[in-house]
Structure 1
Amino acid sequence: MQLPAPAPSERRDDSVARERRARRIAGLPRPVEPGLTGWRRFRRSPLNWLTVAFFPLCALLLWLTYRVYAVTITTSVGDYTEQQTGTRSAPTPAQFNEALWKCTRMALVTLAIGLVFYLLIDRLRPTTLRLKAVALAWGGAVAVYASAVINTWASMRVTADETDELGSVRAAIFIAPFTEEAAKATVLFLLAILVRHRFLSAIQMVTMAGLSAVGFAVVEDIVYYIRMYLYGSLVYGVDADESLRQIFYLRGLLTCWGHPLFTTFTAIGVGVAMRNRSKLVRVTAPLAGYCFAVCAHMGFNGTQSIGVSTMMLLAVGAFLIIFLLLRYFRLVLAESRQVRARLQDFVSNGWLGEHDPIVFSRYRRRLKLICAAALRGPRCLLATVRLIHDMSELAQVRMGVVNGLVDGAAVERERELLLRIRSLRGRALDDTDGLTIKPPNWTLQSIRGWVGAHLPRRRPRTPVFAPPPPSQIPVGAPRR
């Protein structure tokens, strides 16, 4: 007996399910369903709901971290004052909160430096602001809380008793690097699993790792600042503000590169694993990067524990940073050449213009497009940014096909990107030849007219006349 043929709707649903599964296995985004509103697309995305639940969790962990360190720092300051003066003097909650607010403002300088640096290097294929916020919140809340709990538990295991002065040193060298690097780098593995299609190069992984490390370093610096400030405030003869400035200069400025540098090694290993076909490399590359990060962290903590000079530490750090920057520039040039070569494949088939591989593979030309679009209105700017992103993703998808990382599921994704690129052509800027950053219709006269038309005009004021002079007729005299 022959079974009846499935209905067209069932065949369509089955093909959509197979396509979704193929894309999920290949690490590509889900197919776009036509006719859905923005709110329905938001509701159908599990990642959006994970993001919504993630930030309140970070706020809760920050509150728990505050409670833990409020008790820990208050106890340590009380023990320190009793040891120095013979009288136990612990800070009140009001004093602790005042120190917290003052130290947080100083730690924001380190946060600003890290944000500017990683926003500048993440330019070839920028990650979204949501992913940057997730990485920063993970390092500042989840990684800090997990490290605090694990370090405290492990430190109690390696400390003989309360009089063991080397217990904290052993914990800082042999325990903290393993837990802190694992806590900071966990977000890389989660993002690589959940949104693998968003990470197309090692530079993006380095950005995520750096932001996670910056968030961790800022919260850790606040803890050190508060402890040092309260030590100086409650001990007679110590200038608390001067002690705070010294530790800020040391931790917040001179050695602020420590945590981002260590986590960068793990990020490089994860980035190499994501762009390689070998299963052995996919396993060993992240593990090697993590081990290198732990060793570097152990060396950093060990030099501070044994009293190595700060200049020696800065020299080693400067050497590593310069080496990574040179490697970064080489990687950017290599990715630019690869993007141009993969876009050329679509030019050969007639799907892109001849100038597209040159325009969208060079950083200066893309920057010129964005600057020129910014002066032509928000619609032109948004369309230009989307066009640049779609071109970059199109090249990276084809690069995955060439390298054998993506199978036939990339065909539909390439088709979607080509259709979106075609729809953006009329609204976005797509060529730099003959393009001026300043629009041609911007003249001095037109600018003055636009400013005069958009400035708020003052309403004409009603003239106020002086009262009439008093008459010379005596009061009460009859009028004529």
Structure 2
Amino acid sequence: MATSSPFPYPSGPADGTPVGGSLRHAHWWQRPWVRYGAPSTLLAISGLVILALVREETGTEGFLVGLGLAVLPVPLLLASFRWLDRVEPGPWRNLLFCFAWGACAAALIAIVANSFATRWIATATADPSSADTLGATVIAPVVEESAKAAAVLLVFLFRRRDFTGIIDGVVVAGVTATGFAFTENILYLGTAFGTDQMTGGTGIASVTAATFFVRIIMSPFAHPLFTVLTGIGFGVAALAGDRARFRRVAFPLAGLLLAMGMHAMWNGSASFGEYGFFAVYAAFMVPIFGLLTWLVIWTRQRELRTVREELPAYAVAGWLDPAEPYALGSMRARRIARAHARRHAGRGAAREVARYEAYATSLAFLRHRARRGRAGAGFTVREQELLGELWRRREAARPALVHAARVTSPPPPAMAPPWPVHGVYGAYGANSAHGAYGRPHRPAPHPAYNPYRS
């Protein structure tokens, strides 16, 4: 390790001692069996209850048909959100919790609350049709978006270290909404199949086919799109400093209200006339989907730029090789580094490189927040933890990242020689740019051009 480094080597995490003291003095609710066991038990019970309710509503055959059709868009949506999260990938357990919360807890809350509210409105007004419309356009958006937002809030509060910006909010909210839409699609498709069984509908004219086209083909992104607005609000709050309490409360609430408004407009599109659904779809859903897609991709590129700008300070201090900030700021270079490690040292080395990339990205974001005064009191401890994780993996990761930097670094710029080049037709002849024998002239690059090449 370079002696010029201003950072002391973080011996705390290296010896396995938890930062902040032993768990023997932690409160009972901070113990691992409580923190992991209680949510798992709650989600398991919710899953069993929602399974029984949906099966009772659709029947066994309808449930199986709905399950088989509803699962089709799930891998694509999850892969999309995971792709967005590749710059600083969060733990799988967070995503698993969010999907399970959406599919089990949020769906159960929505079914119970929506049914109760609709029945109460129908009894109070003695008008079941208006109760259904009011329930779909007012009650359902409020209940469902609040239930999905609860998962985002829980991750924001209890997994704050993994929730650092807009992309994290988008991923957490999107995965939660994907789980919710999965359960809801089972219910709708299974009910549609039961209707076709009773009426004899078959083929493309069946209710099942129409429901599949609208919910799976045209709008698989509807629920994720609504809840992503809430996630963006929490992401902006995560970027705010500890003293910006108003922003930390106002932006999540604003995102939740926008999500409810879009959801209400989507549910109410059927009451806008014969072509109301298609008008709302074309005029609002598709443009907003495109705008949010551009926003998250732009944010992803900005995160990579932050990595390239913040990590050179640690290279100067001796913690990183000078080539690493360039490689860590490029997704292509990261892939090449993992492939290089896998090819020469096996899958275990590739996993170590992936972990190294994730820790380095977290370090860059931490330093970026610190320079803006938003890192909080635990900056030094967290920085030492991340530096320790990088230092323990340097032997496996550094050669692969240096190789990736050499492969992906830009080629030397074309430089005109300081002397005139004379071709067979003279200094300005047709072949003058290719030398006397028609061969391209390749001047040697300046020695200081590329520090990544040996």
Q: List per-residue Cα deviations over 1:27-49 (Å, max 9, x = no partner).
A: xxxx6372579xxx999873564
Where do residues 383-462 of structure 1 align in structure 2 (5 Å cutoff)?
383-428=352-397, 429-431=400-402, 432-434=404-406
In structure 2, distance between residues paired with 1:378 and 1:176: 47
Q: Which of 117, 122, 127 is 2:85 aligned to?
A: 122
In structure 2, distance between residues paired with 1:380 and 1:69: 45
Q: Which of 306, 309, 318 is 1:341 aligned to?
A: 309
1:311 aligns with 2:278: yes
CA contact (8 A) 1:188 1:208 kept: yes
CA contact (8 A) 1:202 1:268 kept: yes
If you compute each CA radius of gyration, which structure gives the higher value, 1 or 2? Answer: 1
In structure 2, distance between residues paired with 1:240 and 1:224: 18
In structure 2, distance between residues paired with 1:389 and 1:148: 39
Unaligned runs of 5+ in 1: 1-30, 75-95, 437-480
Which residue of structure 2 aligns with residue 105 of structure 1? 68
In structure 2, distance between residues paired with 1:177 and 1:419: 46
1:63 aligns with 2:48: yes
Which residue of structure 2 aligns with residue 159 of structure 1? 122
Amino acid at match of 1:157: W
Q: Which has the higher contact order (CA 8 A, sep 6+)?
A: 2
Aligned pair in 2 of structure 1 residues 138, 70: CA closer, same or farther (>3 Å)? same
Amino acid at match of 1:32: P
In structure 1, distance between residues paired with 2:406 and 2:374: 39
Aligned residues: 380
Amino acid at match of 1:325: T
Q: Which of 296, 299, 324 is 2:265 aligned to?
A: 299
Which residue of structure 1 aligns with residue 102 of structure 2? 139
| C-alpha RMSD of the superposition | 2.5
Amino acid at match of 2:184: E
1:258 Cα offset (Å): 0.8
Q: List per-residue Cα deviations over 1:52-98 (Å, max 9, x = no partner).
A: 44234323212212333455x37xxxxxxxxxxxxxxxxxxxxx112
CA contact (8 A) 1:155 1:167 kept: yes
CA contact (8 A) 1:100 1:226 kept: yes
1:419 Cα offset (Å): 2.6
In structure 2, distance between residues paired with 1:56 and 1:279: 33
CA contact (8 A) 2:333 2:405 kept: no
Which residue of structure 1 aligns with residue 447 of structure 2? none
In structure 1, distance between residues paired with 2:166 and 2:368: 14
Which residue of structure 1 aligns with residue 149 of structure 2? 185
Among all aligned residue pairs of Structure 1 and Structure 2, give the percentage whose two residues are the same amino acid: 26
CA contact (8 A) 1:336 1:362 kept: yes
After TM superposition, the structure 1 stretch with the greater mean CA deviation from structure 2, 107-116 or 173-182, is: 107-116
Amino acid at match of 1:351: W
- The structure 1 segments of at least 4 consecutive aligned residues displaced by more than 6 Å after TM superposition are 41-45
Aligned pair in 2 of structure 1 residues 434, 406: CA closer, same or farther (>3 Å)? closer
Amino acid at match of 1:399: H
- Give the TM-score taking structure 1 as reference length: 0.74
After TM superposition, the structure 1 stretch with the greater mean CA deviation from structure 2, 148-157 or 46-55, is: 46-55
Which residue of structure 2 aligns with residue 362 of structure 1? 330
- Give the TM-score taking structure 2 as reference length: 0.78
Unaligned runs of 5+ in 2: 1-11, 409-454
In structure 2, distance between residues paired with 1:408 and 1:163: 58
1:148 aligns with 2:116: no
